[in-house]
Structure 1
Amino acid sequence: MPNLILNQLSDIELLQESCEVECKLAGGRDGCGAVPGDMWESYSAFANTRGGEILLGIKEKKGKFTLEGIKNPAPLVKNIWDTVNNTNKVSHNLLNEVDVSVITIAGKQLIRILVPRAPREVRPIFINGNPLAGSYVRRYEADQKCLPDTVSRMIAEREDIRDNRILEGYGLDDIDVESLRIYRQMFIDAKPQGHPFLEQDTAGFLRSIKAWRKDRKTQQEGLTLAGLVMFGTWDAIQDALPNYFVDYQEKDDSSHRWIDRVFPDGSWSGNIFDFYRKIFRKLTADFKIGFQLKDGQRIDDTPAHEAIREALVNMLAHADYTSDSPLFIEKHPDFIGFRNPGLMRVPVKDAIAGGDSLCRNPAIHQMFLNIGLSEKAGSGIPKIYSNSRSQNWQTPNLYEKDSPEQTLLELRMVNLVSEEMHSNLIELFGSSYNALSELKRSILITAATESWFNHERIFSLTSKHTRDITLALSQLVKGGYLASGGNHKGKVYHLKGVDVPTPDNDAGKGITFVSSPDLSQLSLFGENEEFDSKSPDLNVESPDFDSKSPDLNVENPDFDSKSPDFNIESPDLNEEKQLWQELLEIASPIRNGSYRAKRNDIEKVIIQLCEKSDQKYLGLADIAKLLGRNTDTLRKSYLSPMLKNQQLTLAYPTKPNHPNQGYKIKKGS
Structure 2
Amino acid sequence: MNAEELRGHLSAGEGLMVEFKRCGSGPQNDLYETICSFANRQGGNIFMGVDDDGAVVGIPSGAVRNMQRMVVNAVSNPKLFPIPPVIETESIEIDGAWVIRVWVPVGPAVYSFKGVIYDRIADADVRVTGIEQITMLYLRKQNEYSERRVFKYVGIDDFDPATIHCARSLAVARTLGHPWGYMDDEELLRSAKLYRKDRRTGDEGYTLASVLLFGKEECISDVCPAYKTDAVARIENEDRYDDRMTFTGNLIDSYDGLIRFAKKYMQDRFVLIDGQRISARDIMVREIVANLLIHREYISPFPAKLVITRSQLVTENASRAMFEGRLTLSDFNPVSKNPSIAGVFKEIGYAEELGSGFRNIQRCSLAYSGRSAILEDGDVFKASVPLTPIAAARGGEGAFEAARVLCERDGFISSSTLSEYLGVTTRTAQRHIRRLLDDGLISEDPVHARSYIMK
| TM-score, normalised via structure 1 length | 0.49
Match among 257, 260, 265 for residue 243 of structure 2: 260
Counterpart check, 1:333 vs 2:317:
no
Task: Report matched runs for 1:176-575 at 5 Å.
Answer: 176-191=160-175, 193-215=176-198, 220-252=203-235, 255-264=238-247, 270-285=249-264, 286-290=266-270, 301-348=278-325, 352-353=329-330, 356-391=333-368, 393-400=370-377, 405-415=379-389, 420-423=394-397
Deviation at 1:223, TM superposition (A): 2.3
Shift of 1:340: 0.6
Give the superposition deviation at 1:83. Answer: 4.0
Q: Does 1:165 align with 2:149?
A: yes
Higher relative contact order (CA 8 A, sep 6+): 2
> In 2 relative to 1, CA 96–420 (structure 1 residues): closer, same or farther, beyond 3 Å?
farther
What is the CA distance between 1:93 and its match in structure 2?
A: 3.8
The one-character-per-residue Cα deviations of 1:531-582 (angstroms, maximum 9, x if unpaired) are xxxxxxxxxxxxxxxxxxxxxxxxxxxxxxxxxxxxxxxxxxxxxxxxxxxx
Q: Is the 8 A contact 1:346 1:357 kept in 2?
A: no
d(CA) in 1 for partners of 2:320, 2:88: 23
2:316 counterpart letter in structure 1: R
Q: What is the number of residues matched between the two proteins?
A: 386
Report deviation, 1:202: 0.9
- The aligned amino acid for 2:40 is N
Residues 340, 408 of structure 1: 8 Å contact kept: yes
Amino acid of the structure 1 residue aligned with 2:282: H
Residues 76, 375 of structure 1: alpha-carbon distance in 2 compared, 3 angstrom cutoff = farther
Check conservation: 1:49, 1:138, Cα contact below 8 A: yes
Question: In the alignment, which residue of structure 1 is the partner of 2:428?
Answer: none
Contact 2:231 2:246 in 1 (8 A): yes
Deviation (angstroms), 1:307: 3.3
Gap change, CA 1:163 and 1:66, over 3 Å in 2 = closer
Letter of the 1:205 counterpart: L
Corresponding position of 1:606? none
Q: 2:110 aligns to what?
A: 124
Would the aligned equivalents of 2:270 and 2:278 in 1 still touch at CA under 8 Å?
no
Distance 1:378 1:93, change over 3 A: farther
Mark the CA change 1:155 to 1:326 in structure 2 (over 3 Å): closer, same or farther: closer
Structure-2 change in CA distance of 1:349 and 1:322 (3 Å)? same
Kindly state the Cα deviation for residue 208 of structure 1 after the two structures are TM-superposed. Answer: 1.1
Aligned to 2:22: 25
**Displacement after TM superposition at 1:316 (Å):** 1.4
1:124 maps to amino acid: V
Structure 2 equivalent of residue 138 of structure 1: 120
Counterparts in 2 of 1:339 and 1:55: CA distance versus 1, 3 Å = same
- In the TM superposition, residue 201 of structure 1 has moved relative to its aligned partner by 0.6
How many Å separate the matches in 1 of 2:71 and 2:47? 17
- In 1: Cα distance, 2:296 partner to 2:237 partner: 31
In the alignment, the residues of structure 1 paired with residue 302 and residue 137 of structure 2 have an alpha-carbon distance, to the nearest angstrom, of 16
Distance in 2 of aligned mates of 1:95 and 1:304? 51
- 1:81 to 1:198, Cα distance in 2 relative to 1, 3 A: farther
The letter of the residue matching 2:22 is L
C-alpha distance in structure 1 between counterparts of 2:234 and 2:392, whole Å:
25
Q: Judge conservation of contact 1:211–1:227 (CA < 8 Å) in 2.
A: yes
Deviation at 1:233, TM superposition (A): 1.7
Query: Residue type matched to 2:150 in 1?
Result: I
Structure 2 SS opposite 1:26? coil
- Aligned residues of 1:251 and 1:331 also touching (Cα < 8 A): yes
Partner residue in 2 for 1:616: none
How many Å separate the matches in 1 of 2:263 and 2:15? 37
Query: 1:138 and 1:172 mapped to 2: Cα distance?
Result: 43
| C-alpha contact 2:271 2:368 (8 A) present in aligned 1 | no
Give the direction of change, closer, same or farther, for the CA distance of 1:391–1:103 in structure 2 (3 Å limit): farther
The one-letter amino acid paired with 1:194 is G
Q: Pick the structure with more strand per residue.
A: 2
In the alignment, structure 1 residue 69 sits paired with structure 2 residue 43 = no
Deviation at 1:248, TM superposition (A): 0.7
Q: Specify the alignment match of 2:32 in structure 1.
A: 40
**1:162 positional shift:** 1.9
Gap change, CA 1:79 and 1:393, over 3 Å in 2 = farther
Find 1:88's aligned residue among 76, 79, 103. 76
Is this contact kept in 1: 2:194–2:207, CA < 8 A? yes
Q: Which residues of structure 1 form unaligned runs of 5+?
A: 29-33, 427-669
Q: Secondary structure at the match of 1:258?
A: coil
Q: What per-residue deviation string (whole Å, max 9, x for no partner) do you get for residues 254-295 of structure 1?
A: 53321121114xxxx62222111111133234343438899x
Decide whether the 8 Å contact of 1:48 with 1:117 is kept in 2: no
Q: How does 1:584-623 map to 2 (within 5 A)?
A: none
- In the TM superposition, what whole-angstrom CA distance separates every residue of 1:218-241 from its partner, at most 9, and x where no partner exists? 764432100111121221111112
Deviation at 1:123, TM superposition (A): 4.7
Partner SS, residue 241 of structure 2: strand
Q: Secondary structure at the match of 1:411?
A: strand
Q: TM-score, normalised by structure 2?
A: 0.69
Cα distance in 2, alignment partners of residues 168 and 237 from structure 1: 14
Give 1:205 shift.
0.9
C-alpha distance in 2, partners of 1:407/1:73? 45
1:399 Cα deviation from its structure 2 partner? 2.5
Could you give the per-residue CA deviations for residues 573-612 of structure 1, whole angstroms, max 9, x where no partner exists?
A: xxxxxxxxxxxxxxxxxxxxxxxxxxxxxxxxxxxxxxxx
- The answer to whether the 8 A contact 1:398-1:409 is kept is yes
